[in-house]
Structures are given as structure tokens and as C-alpha cells.
Amino acid sequence: SQQTSKIEELRELDKKHYLHPTSPIGAQQEHGPAFIFTKGEGIYLTDMSGQKVIDGMSSLWNVNIGHGRNEISEVASKQMSTLAFSSSFATFSNEPAIRLSAKLAEIAPGDLTATFFTSGGSESNDTAYKLARHYWILKGEPKRKKIISRTHSYHGVAMGATSATGIQAFRDFTNSLAPDFHYADHMSPESLRQVIESEGPETVAAFISEPVQGAGGLHIATKEYFKAVREICDEYGILFITDEVITGFGRTGTYFGMDHYDVAPDMMCFAKGVTSGYAQLGGVMISSRMHEDFTKLSTGTLLHGYTYSGHPVACAVALRNLEIIERENLIANSSQMGEELLNGFINLQASFESIGDVRALGLMGAIEFMKDKEKEERFPQPLAPMVVTEAAKRGLILRSVVFNGQDTLVFSPPLIITKEQINDMMSILHEAIKAVE
């Protein structure tokens, strides 16, 4: 039929011309795209052949309000037809960017009050490192330039963001990285102290951490961990940056991941859920103390800015997205459905020998496979990637993490998900695990 030949045509063009981000390039070339999506609605995506699947990852942990919201496309269309773009450099401004920065100050943890806008998470991370370093120049401590991050962390793919990323495989992808990045063990505050001591506290600008590590395998820190981190940073006068790119805007059942820990960061990176993916936007927030210092000490120009910093359409979309999150109580739903998700995992754990640890915080969850739980022995061939394939065949999109010997399935469904839909996910998952075990 016409549709079949159109799909074939697109598959061939994709193979020939489309270099996919973070993709298995050989397999992509051989098989072409697994899905060519044409429509999104709620928690579902539909591809060209008409197959409808559950978007169990909110695509890239970002479509928090779900797909297909006309309300958002109307806001974007209206903004585009009145003011599609204008500069935010120097003293130029626009209403959506102003209102969004004020809204963010209202909802952000601690006393984060001022926002620098970017187009995504990687740009936000590089911005945070540069602002932290510039801050120390202004404060008369220019030697403070080192950035410490955690093993298993993911901060993006710009040069600074990759250099901060604690997953070795991402750093090994290129043969030269940004200097002055160091790593502490992801669960040990003592390790952070050791790295600070061995590098020299007077040379350390900032420590950066995700509240819950996402791409690195969904690692949830204890309450004590971040409390100790905050104390160590204060002791040595080091800035604490939280990377809320995934955990922001309701993902973990609170507005921000740090809200679980009652710890106030000095800076915060965000992206993804701020627009639920309806437009490209990210940013970095700084504390009122840092903002005052910048204002007081800076005599020149803040020489950092992206063309699309403060994009009026993206900011208008973000404002409406946050309105929807609040109006529909999606943060409370994330918390409640997160418990359902974890219960679902626990039920699966009872059915399958191969499931080791299960965990979730709000709608960010993981299942780890283990050959022998007592001996902590893994399967020679990780199960998680095979389960992902089997689940996709049955209509559920998930992701696996196999870095550093892990064998983990991760989950991050839209915050609108219902109990029935979680049950649907668990039934598919049950069949998918049965198929590979």
C-alpha cells in the first residue's frame, strides 16, 4: 500500500542521512529506525504503521504532562504569531521570560532567586560551571576552578557537561576533555571530603550532583548523604550545584528532587520537565546571596549567553506547562503513582528469581536483575536490554542501563499516569521478563 511504501522510503532516508543522537550506529544502519512516531496522546505514542505504545520513559524523562496537549500548542502558536523571537542579551527582555523567572523563584528550593536561561540540560551544566568559576574570580579567589561530581552521574554532552559526567564510557568517547574535573564516589560523603582534601580546598569551585541519579542507573541517595554534602561544602566554602534536569518539576513526587532532602543548593540546573518537551528550554538558578555578590562585584559584562536564552515561545510554553502541573495536581499524582509503581515492582520481584533490588522515588523507578542475590552475581549476558526489546514488541517503551556492570531497567512514565495504566505496564513487563528469563 501507499503507507507501506512511504514507511520504506523514510526508513531508507533515515539510514542514509540521519545521524541519531546516542545511538548504536552500526545496528541503526543495518535495521533502520525501530519506530517512526507520528502522534502522541497522553502516555501513548503511535508510529507510522499504527502501532500504539506506552511511553514508559516520558520519552527522555521529560514529557511530564504527557503528549498531545492542545492547550500548549495554542499558547505556542499565539506567542509565535505575536513575538516569535527577540534578543535577551544586554538590557533586552520579554514578558514570558520575565514571568517565568519570577515563577521559578517562587517554586525553587532554598533561596534560589535568579535564573539564567539556556536551551537544555547540557548548556545549563556548562553555564553552571562557568558561572561558578566567574563567581570565584569576582570574589578574589581565582584559584577556585575545580568541579567535583559523582561516579555514575550524567550531566550531558557539552564539553563541560561530559567532563563532569561520572559514567566513564561517555568520557572515553572523546580523547580530550575539559580540565579541572574530578569525581567522588557517588554514595560516600567521605569520598567527597577526600577528593577536596587531596585537590586542595582552595582550588575547588563547586560540587555538582543529581538529587537522584538518572541515566547512570537510578541511584537514590540517603537523607544523610545530602545533609553531609551540604555540611562539607560549607566547611570548605564550596558551592553546591544540584542538577535537577530530570528530577525537577514533579518527577520524584515533590516539585524538585532536593525537596526530599531539605538541603538548599547554591545553584540549580534544570531543563526537560520545565516545558515537558513541548519546546527546548533549560536554565541555571542562583541563590540570592550569589546574585547579590554578582551585582555588587561585577564591573564588566556577564560574557556568557546563548542566542536562545530566554526564548519567548519556550518560556510561554513553560509557564503554561507549570500551570498544568499545578492545576492537575500532577506532583501529588507522581508521589501516589510512584508508590503504585514500586508495589508493581515488588509483585514482580515475588514472581521472578532474576529480580534483585527494586526502587522508586515518585515516578522515577528501577528494577535490577541479579543471577545470585546473595553473592551479588550478575548474569553473564545482561537481561535488561533483552527485556527492553521484548517490552517494546508488546507495546511498552523502557530503557536499560548496563554501564559499570549494571543490569537495570529504568522507568519514568508521564506524571498523568493512572493506576490502571501502571497495571498495564506491569502486565507487559511480566510477559517481557518471562520471555527472556
CB contact at 8 A, 147 and 164: yes
Nearest to 150, CA basis, from 179, 109, 181: 181
Query: Which residue lies nearest ligand PLP, judged by its C-beta?
Result: 121
Residue 284 three-state SS:
strand
Task: Report the nearest approach of ligand PLP to the CB of residue 382 (Å).
Answer: 21
Which stretches does DSSP call E strand in 65-118?
A: 112-118
Question: 245, 281, 363, 429: which one contacts ligand PLP (CB under 6 A)?
Answer: 245
CA–CA–CA angle 410, 413, 417 (5° rounding)? 145
Stretch that binds ligand PLP, among 121-129, 200-208, 286-294, 300-308 (CB under 6 A): 121-129
Minimum separation from the CB atom of position 372 to ligand PLP (A): 31
Strand order in the sheet with 396-397: 37-41, 44-47, 52-55, 396-397
Under rule CB under 6 A, how many of the chain's residues touch ligand PLP? 14
Q: Which residue has the cell 520519552?
A: 59
b (16+ CB within 10 A) / e for 155-188: bbbbebbbbbbbbeebbeeeeebeebbbbbebbe
Does position 127 bind ligand PLP by CB under 6 A? Answer: no
Q: Can residue 271 be called a binding residue for ligand PLP (CB under 6 A)?
A: yes
- Chain residues 99-118 in contact with ligand PLP, contact rule CB under 6 A: none
Binds ligand PLP by CB under 6 A, chosen from 160, 214, 310, 365: 214
- Are the beta carbons of 290 and 307 closer than 8 angstroms? no
Selected binder of ligand PLP within 64, 122, 242, 252 (CB under 6 A): 122
Element at 157 (helix H, strand E): none
Asked if 156 touches ligand PLP (CB under 6 A), the answer is yes
Q: Does 125 bind ligand PLP (CB under 6 A)?
A: yes
- 32 in contact with ligand PLP (CB under 6 A): no
Instruction: Decide if residue 337 touches ligand PLP (CB under 6 A).
Output: no
What count of Cα atoms within 13 Å lies in the side-chain half-sphere of residue 67?
21
Minimum CB separation from ligand PLP for residue 82, in Å? Answer: 27
Q: Which stretch binds ligand PLP (CB under 6 A): 79-87, 154-162, 306-314, 419-427?
A: 154-162
Please answer whether residues 203 and 164 qualify as being in contact, where contact means their C-beta atoms are separated by less than 8 angstroms: no
Residue 361 interacting with ligand PLP (CB under 6 A): no
Cβ–Cβ under 8 Å, residues 409 and 383 = no
The site map against ligand PLP for 35-64 (x = CB under 6 A) is ------------------------------
The answer to the question of residue 120 lying near ligand PLP (CB under 6 A) is yes
Q: How far is the C-alpha of 62 from the C-alpha of 77, rounded, in Å? A: 21
Contacting ligand PLP (CB under 6 A), which of 55, 126, 243, 390?
243
- Among residue numbers 389 through 418, which ones bind ligand PLP (CB under 6 A)? none
Question: Would you say 154 or 278 has its CB closer to ligand PLP?
Answer: 154
Give me the 159-198 binding string for ligand PLP, x by CB under 6 A, dash otherwise. ----------------------------------------
118: nearest Cα among 245, 250, 213: 245
Q: Is 154 in the site for ligand PLP (CB under 6 A)?
A: yes
Binding mask 194-213 for ligand PLP (x = CB under 6 A): ----------------x---
Sheet with 282-287, strands from edge to edge, namely 112-118, 282-287, 267-270, 239-243, 204-209, 146-150, 181-184
C-alpha–C-alpha distance, residues 173 and 91, integer Å = 40
Interface segment toward ligand PLP; rule CB under 6 A; list 120-128, 134-142, 172-180, 257-265: 120-128
Quick check: 216 binds ligand PLP (CB under 6 A)? no
* Residue 386 binds to ligand PLP (criterion: CB under 6 A): no
- The grid coordinates of residue 228 equal 553531609
Which cell numbers hold the place of 221?
Answer: 541517595
Residue 125 or 254: which CB sits closer to ligand PLP?
125
Residues that bind ligand PLP (CB under 6 A): 120-122, 125, 154-156, 210, 214-215, 243, 245-246, 271
